[in-house]
Structure formats: C-alpha cells, structure tokens
Amino acid sequence: MVRAGLQEGILGRAVGNGLIDLQVHDLRDFTTDRHKVVDDTPFGGGPGMVLKAEPMFRAVEHVRDTRGTPDAVLLPSPQGRRFTQAVAGEYSRRAHLVLLCGRYEGVDERVSTALVTEEVSIGDFVLSGGELPALVIVDAVARLVPGVVGDAESVVRDSFTRGLLDHPHYTRPASLRGLDVPAVLLSGHHGEIDRWRRQQALRRTYERRPDLLADEALTDEERQWLAA
C-alpha cells in the first residue's frame, strides 16, 4: 500500500527528481524467528493483537546505521498531536524523518516510551493501520519541500498556509450549464482579481471555519464587509 502510494503523482515525481528520498521497510525483515512474527497477544488479556516492540527498535536501528540518525521518529496514532498544515511545515524543515506504522490494537507502548519522538494523529477517527496516515503525512510534508510543487506560489495560497481557506478556482469554459465564471476573473485586472480572491477566501473562512479568523489581521473595510 505504501510503496504504491509513494510512486504516484507529485510524490513520485519528487522522488524521480531527487528532491526527496523515500524508503519503505518491512517490519518482518527485522524479526529473528522463522515465521517472521511481528505481533503478539496483549499482556493482561483482551481482544486483538499488539505489534511487537523489538522489530520496531531493530528497524529504526537499521535506518540509523545505514542512513544516519533521523531528526524525528513519528508514530501515527489517534492519540497523538493533531496533524495540521503548521505541523507539516515544521516537519518539512527536518531533513530526515522516520514514520512507524501501527496495526491491530496498536504498538507495544515501549516503542512510544523509548523510540518515538512524537505521536501524530491525522484526525479524531480510527483507521485500521498507520499506512494511510503515514502517506497523508508524507504527502503534506513533501509538498512543502521547495521544488516539489512546481509553482511555489500555489503552496503559499493553499488553505491554512496563510491562515485562511483558499478562494474558489475556475477553468475553461467561462460558461457551462448556465453557470458563469465570475466576471472579474475574465477582466484581466490583476488588482481587482486579487481583491476578489481575498474577499472570497475571507467569506469562505468566515462561513466554514470562523475559528481560523481569530489570528487574521483584517482591515477595517474587510471587517465591515464580513459583518454586512
């Protein structure tokens, strides 16, 4: 799942261009028993299985020995710090990250105690494994690495990056099924277009995520316009 996901789109191109380097390791390669067992039943009883700690420790030691000490070892977990665009920005400034993928009931707690720098949650819901969260984190972080997204300006304009949600986007044709593109976008007047986009971003943020506006520096005119 992870290998396939990393080969696609912007991530795949970024790897091809040498802008980022992604390695996937199979925990089973770090077991010592004949059956390559990575899970076991929980101490204390109860349902499900727990991922064993030792293969995780050995996997990270292998990474350390072959590629140097990572800047952070992240464990995707519903109990972790909420992953946001700001957190993605933090991670994009680290040179070397390791993400450990949990499964089943989770990972032996000693991994969190002694190996993990930070647990990261991609939202208040529970997935069956850490692979999709790892892909989510890698994608969000990689697109903030300079050069990964062709047009740097588009990353700066994305939702959350400047605090607001993004403005709406349209492309050709200018009219379809009785739906017209706002005239200002066809005007060629860049000052007016920028003003319209800022107003739309403000309006959307106000309607959909008013919590984000708390930190936004608004002009008096924008305040009046929003209140209208």
Binding residues: 102, 122-127
Q: List residues forming the annotated binding site for S-adenosyl-L-methionine.
A: 102, 122-127
Annotated active-site residue 153? The verdict is no
Choose which of 11, 98, 102, 141 interacts with ligand SAM (CB under 6 A). Answer: 102
When asked if residue 55 is in the footprint of ligand SAM (CB under 6 A), the reply is no
Is 58 tagged catalytic? no
Catalytic entry in 42, 70, 78, 168: 78
Cα-based torsion angle of the residue sequence 136, 141, 146, 148 in order, rounded to the nearest 10 degrees: -10
Taking only Cα atoms into account, the Rg of the chain, rounded to an integer number of angstroms, comes to 22
**Would you count residue 106 as binding ligand SAM (CB under 6 A)?**
yes
Q: Does 56 participate in binding ligand SAM (rule CB under 6 A)? A: no
Q: Is 173 in the active site?
A: no
Among 77, 141, 205, 206, binds ligand SAM (CB under 6 A): 77
Which residues in the 114-153 window bind ligand SAM by CB under 6 A?
Answer: 121-123, 125-130, 133
Query: Least distance from C-beta 108 to ligand SAM, angstroms?
Result: 11
Q: Which residues pair with 50 in a beta bridge?
A: 40
Q: Identify whether 133 is preceded by a cis peptide bond (ω within 30 of 0).
A: no
113 touches ligand SAM (CB under 6 A): no
Contacts of 119 (CB under 8 A, 6+ apart): 74, 75, 76, 77, 79, 80, 81, 112
Residue 94: active-site member: no
* Tokens 């309607």, located at residue: 207
- Residue with Cβ nearer ligand SAM (109 or 180): 109
Site for ligand SAM contains 78 (CB under 6 A): yes
Q: Of 179, 177, 197, nearest to 187 (Cα)?
A: 197
CB of residue 2 to ligand SAM, shortest distance in Å? 12
- Give the per-residue contact string, 1-30, with ligand SAM (x = CB under 6 A; - = no): ------------------------------
- Summarize as ranges the residues that interact with ligand SAM (CB under 6 A): 76-79, 101-103, 105-107, 121-123, 125-130, 133
Annotated active-site positions, please? 78, 105, 143, 158
